[in-house]
Amino acid sequence: MKEVIKNAEDKMQKCINSLEKEFSTIRAGRANPGVLDKITVDYYGVPTQINAMAAVSVAEARILVIQPWDASSLKAIEKAIMASDIGITPTNDGKAIRIVFPQLTEERRKELCKQVKKYGEDSKVAVRNCRRDAMDKLKAMKKNNELTEDDVKDGEKKMQKITDDYCDKVDKVCAEKEKEIMTV
């Protein structure tokens, strides 16, 4: 029973980690190298992440500088950024690419908050699915006479407590991201 609960808890933690990684790609008006994580560049026929082929740094609060190690890849990086969905046009000075993050409008901030809430709800659903899977395993173990009725009830109570804790963690992560987005 402990192994089933531990596995479910590990899966729930992965849901939180995935949510935090997803939030790092949402741009909140400040320069964040995480927005480039989903972008791949065709580098000699191989899809390559930008941070694997260039130095990415934050020059100012809203300016991201990309300096490729191979100057010939500058155009390819610029093209990949323009083709991506981050919605920012890069400027190429021949040596580096600068991405200036514009101030977010109130309307755009509210849209991003809705997106954050949707990701939060999706994560809660994933956490609840982990709970359901664990409960099913406990019931199967009872059916196979590996657990008693009382063990199953205790396991279900523990799983519900863990699930509630992880749903609270999701809410906290979402609230922090919403606060970051709404801060002007």
pLDDT of residue 171: 94
Q: What is the pLDDT of residue 135?
A: 92
pLDDT for 29 equals 66
> What's the rounded Cα separation, in Å, for the pair 110 and 178?
9
Cα separation values, 117 from 51, 100, 174, Å:
28, 26, 7
Task: Give the CATH H-level superfamily of domain 2-24+105-182.
Answer: Ribosome-recycling factor (1.10.132.20)
- pLDDT at residue 89, rounded to an integer: 83
**Domain coordinates of the chain in residue numbers?**
2-24+105-182, 33-100
Q: In what order do the strands lie in the sheet with 97-100?
A: 54-60, 63-68, 97-100, 91-92
Residue 147 CB: number of other CB atoms within 10 A?
19
- Using alpha carbons, list the distances in angstroms from residue 115 to 3, 136, 148: 35, 32, 44
The three-state secondary structure class of 47 is strand
pTM flag (> 0.75): no
Give the pLDDT score at 1: 83
Segment-wise mean pLDDT, segments of 10 residues, the chain, 184 residues? 90 92 75 81 88 87 88 89 81 89 82 90 94 92 88 91 94 91 77
The answer for residues whose C-beta is within 8 angstroms of residue 123's C-beta and 6 or more apart is: 15, 16, 18, 19, 170
User: Residue 27: what pLDDT?
Assistant: 65
| Class at the top of the CATH hierarchy for domain 33-100 | alpha beta
